[in-house]
Chains A and B, each alone.
Chain A
């Protein structure tokens, strides 16, 4: 017995080795470098220097704007999300599951796709402006949406409404409807019941959802950079600007330190709040809590709400896909400066992808970006599984051991660190000896693996835990060595979970923008980087390229997420 225990411990230690080495080298070492860099501006009084930097008007302005836009975005998201959550929680209606699936799509899309989608709908070359110019003969696009504060807010609401649906809607749907009925029979009217029973009970769920939305809005990068334009900077954008445009790494490091502190604080509060969701509330299975919409009035309101939300979530994506198959007619105003603009259907935007135009400022055609992205994504899948599998296995086999309890949250840390901060850490730490990976093609996949790692572990661990020890024991009794047990029992059983984890790694890598924007080499752009560049350039051809690349990326990501939904074993999900 004693012998066996020692053996188990040793196996676990070996399993932990690679994942922890990886995190040490590519997470803790870069973050430590940021810390060092932010204190390293002046010898003596370094802390004072840091405080002075952080107290500067620029930083104060950026922090205020970051908080302000996140607060406003969160409130608007709740405003749209709560009625929808109520509808999803309390009623059965036709098309409900489709609506739920649709509402989840924006959340998984890369930021650059979302930015491109709103550009295709409301940008100067988007459908709405082109149509208005054609109808009324405006000489300039009448709607200014891109590069406005409104664009930031709308994109954030677009992104995060589904969080409110999922967290509040799910909690609400399990809330015992008899609590409401009890309140009514005790003499409370609808409003009193809402204020005294429903809202107090939903409070932890609403707070958790709001905080999660706030965290996403707070660390928003791509949306602000592309849709907000140069006038707006959150902490994330400012880190990027300081590091890439101004080459002020110490300043970037100081801001990253601030960002780390904020996200850490928010993550701690969120963990506390979501623990509160486990309060005993007498939650009921959904079939007891949901009813059909009976009166015509309630059906009409529900239809309007579902229609409105669906339109809001679908129209920009449809606009993007359709816009990628159109170009301005040769000789129309935007092409030549004469007459109203008109669009014609064409595949030219896609054909153009493989043409290396001499006049572009890039070394490579967009097709290279596709190839680079695919290569990085495959590398991320391999790296992610190679590191995630041993970690998950170790977590699953001794889930109550001290090591597991200590290491589990550590594995999740990259999730709470902003992508731009990770990128900056790579720039600062991995640019010089002892670990000079500046020119190495593995730099980007390493960063992507770091971002994908928590998702890989969270997909694999429950599946590995679900394998009952009895099965392993049975195999061992019949003569299987530990390695044979792994290959004949564990691996076949976790096949689906492996597929899910691999798809997560692939989708995250192919859409990642924050970290990539800081570390990608100019001659090897990924798809999001290429979209970002094309959206920032004038000319109809560049715009068409951005649309085509975004549509491809949207298709790949959506397919990946559908595959995950399809293959994941419902009860085993931990998200």
Chain B
């Protein structure tokens, strides 16, 4: 007998269309209590719609959303006990910081004393003590973001949803807030669904990441798994792995051999026919170790701080690789010879 764990949030085959547009086309996943799940994908992939469906702001055309095994189909948004932090925050402009954070508590009928104490705790938690009487319209982007977080956390939601909460902030602030946010969420053991189009954010924040594309799930797994083993060319491309070569796979001595425009490469998998081969951008070595070598012309190098990204034309085919900034590289225009280990550098996708 199969035992299905139904605790936490579950989506089963959820569909949603807006006219001819299929925003969500058959999504299923589960978020366990205390887990942080990130929905990652490009804009328009259906991640925000999925969030709206979970919040009850949209009704699914098909499929089911359950909480601890109970269907939410007929539960209106205000009775779900979920918190949602909006992109651009949606702070109430006619209320000050205190009243914004207290809003959900007032809806639950908290007493004045408890409410004041709770709002105070929340302000401390997000690092804005004493901000209660401020006008929300005068806050900086980062402060607004913290108020929005405090507002959605204050009523102790069973599930917290965050919709691109850091989207409009500058890079420095974003990086700091990601770390703080993860700390807060884990400390509170907060079940969370986090929507973003930024892979770094998703990887840094989430226990598991669900990569979405055109309304369906491409891959669901731990950040490391997704990074080391992208499940499709879409995921690979979305993670910035652009060295994708179309080729023909034949039977080899151990696994298969993939014939591409820039040479033949051995792979461990047993595949035949048209495939796409991924050459990982961080797999090239300049120290001579590795069983396969690659020769090409160095087109140029762009400096990225601790790393630099080199474009190497192999048979006229531009490929991009990341090296540590300290790696000695020849001058642009000269030939380079580099090595790699196929088992860690190559991954094959069947042509779909």
Bound form: Cα–Cα A192–B84 in Å = 18
Interface residue stretch chosen among A48-56, A274-282, A564-572:
A274-282
Does any Cβ of B come within 8 Å of A147's Cβ? no
Does any Cβ of B come within 8 Å of A176's Cβ? yes
Q: Are A179 and B92 in contact (CB under 8 A)?
A: yes
Does any Cβ of A come within 8 Å of B90's Cβ? yes
Does any Cβ of B come within 8 Å of A97's Cβ? no
Tally chain A residues at the interface, Cβ within 8 Å.
Answer: 21
Does any Cβ of B come within 8 Å of A71's Cβ? no
Does any Cβ of B come within 8 Å of A197's Cβ? yes
Please give me the residue from chain B that is nearest to A189 by CB atom.
Answer: B78
Interface residue stretch chosen among B1-9, B63-71, B102-110, B204-212:
B102-110
Q: What per-residue 1/0 map shows which CB atoms of A475-493 lie under 8 Å from chain B?
A: 0000000000000000000
Q: Are A185 and B55 in contact (CB under 8 A)?
A: yes
Min CB distance B277 to A, Å, is 42
Q: Are B90 and A187 in contact (CB under 8 A)?
A: no
Q: Which residues of B contact A182 (CB under 8 A)?
A: 84, 86, 90, 92, 151
Q: Are A187 and B84 in contact (CB under 8 A)?
A: no
Min CB distance B63 to A, Å, is 18
Please give me the residue from chain A that is nearest to B154 by CB atom.
Answer: A186
Q: What per-residue 1/0 map shows which CB atoms of B83-102 lie under 8 Å from chain A?
A: 11010101111100000000
Q: Which residues of B contact A181 (CB under 8 A)?
A: 52, 55, 57, 77, 84, 86, 90
Does any Cβ of B come within 8 Å of A183's Cβ? yes
Does any Cβ of A come within 8 Å of B215's Cβ? no
Contact of A176 among B83, B90, B94 (CB under 8 A): B90
Q: Are B78 and A187 in contact (CB under 8 A)?
A: yes
Please give me the residue from chain B that is nearest to A183 by CB atom.
Answer: B103
Bound form: Cα–Cα A355–B149 in Å = 79
Q: Are B76 and A189 in contact (CB under 8 A)?
A: yes
Known A187-B104, A188-B107: A201·B93 in contact at CB below 8 Å: yes
Contact of A178 among B82, B90, B93, B137 (CB under 8 A): B90
Q: Which residues of B contact A282 (CB under 8 A)?
A: 88, 90-91, 93
Please give me the residue from chain A that is nearest to B101 by CB atom.
Answer: A186
Q: Which residues of B contact A196 (CB under 8 A)?
A: 103
Q: Are B77 and A185 in contact (CB under 8 A)?
A: yes
Min CB distance A197 to B, Å, is 6
Bound form: Cα–Cα A282–B80 in Å = 27
Residues in A156-204 with C-beta less than 8 Å from chain B: 176, 178-179, 181-189, 192, 196-197, 200-201
Known A181-B77, A181-B84: A186·B90 in contact at CB below 8 Å: no
Known A181-B55, A280-B137: A187·B155 in contact at CB below 8 Å: yes
Q: Which residues of A contact B78 (CB under 8 A)?
A: 183-189, 192
Most buried by B among A183, A184, A189, A279: A184
Contact of A184 among B57, B93, B151 (CB under 8 A): B57
Q: Are A280 and B84 in contact (CB under 8 A)?
A: no
Q: What per-residue 1/0 map shows which CB atoms of B123-152 lie under 8 Å from chain A?
A: 000000000000001000000000000011
Q: Which residues of A contact B155 (CB under 8 A)?
A: 186-187
Min CB distance B298 to A, Å, is 46
Contact of B83 among A186, A188, A200, A279 (CB under 8 A): A186
Bound form: Cα–Cα A530–B96 in Å = 59
Bound form: Cα–Cα A281–B95 in Å = 11
Min CB distance A171 to B, Å, is 13
Known A178-B86, A181-B55, A181-B57: A186·B93 in contact at CB below 8 Å: no
Q: Are A192 and B107 in contact (CB under 8 A)?
A: yes
Q: Which residues of B contact A281 (CB under 8 A)?
A: 93
Contact of A201 among B52, B94, B137 (CB under 8 A): B94
Q: Which residues of B contact A188 (CB under 8 A)?
A: 78, 103, 107
Please give me the residue from chain A that is nearest to B84 by CB atom.
Answer: A185
Bound form: Cα–Cα A565–B137 in Å = 36
Contact of A186 among B56, B76, B94, B107 (CB under 8 A): B107
Q: Which residues of B contact A184 (CB under 8 A)?
A: 56-57, 76-78
Q: Which residues of B contact A179 (CB under 8 A)?
A: 90, 92
Most buried by B among A181, A185, A196: A185
Q: Which residues of A contact B91 (CB under 8 A)?
A: 282
Q: Are B83 and A185 in contact (CB under 8 A)?
A: yes
Min CB distance B190 to A, Å, is 15
Q: Which residues of B contact A280 (CB under 8 A)?
A: 93, 137
Bound form: Cα–Cα A201–B152 in Å = 21
Min CB distance B103 to A, Å, is 5
Min CB distance B105 to A, Å, is 9
Q: Are B57 and A186 in contact (CB under 8 A)?
A: no
Contact of A187 among B52, B57, B108 (CB under 8 A): B108
Closest 7 interchain pairs by CB? A186-B104, A187-B107, A178-B90, A184-B77, A185-B84, A182-B90, A280-B137
Could you list 25 A-B pairs, sorted by A, with CB under 8 Å? A176-B88, A178-B90, A179-B90, A181-B52, A181-B55, A182-B84, A182-B86, A182-B90, A184-B56, A184-B57, A184-B77, A185-B80, A185-B82, A185-B84, A186-B103, A186-B151, A186-B152, A186-B155, A187-B79, A187-B107, A188-B78, A189-B78, A201-B92, A201-B93, A280-B137
Known: A182-B151, A185-B152. 9 other contacts (CB 8 A): A179-B90, A181-B52, A181-B57, A184-B78, A185-B84, A187-B78, A188-B103, A192-B78, A201-B94
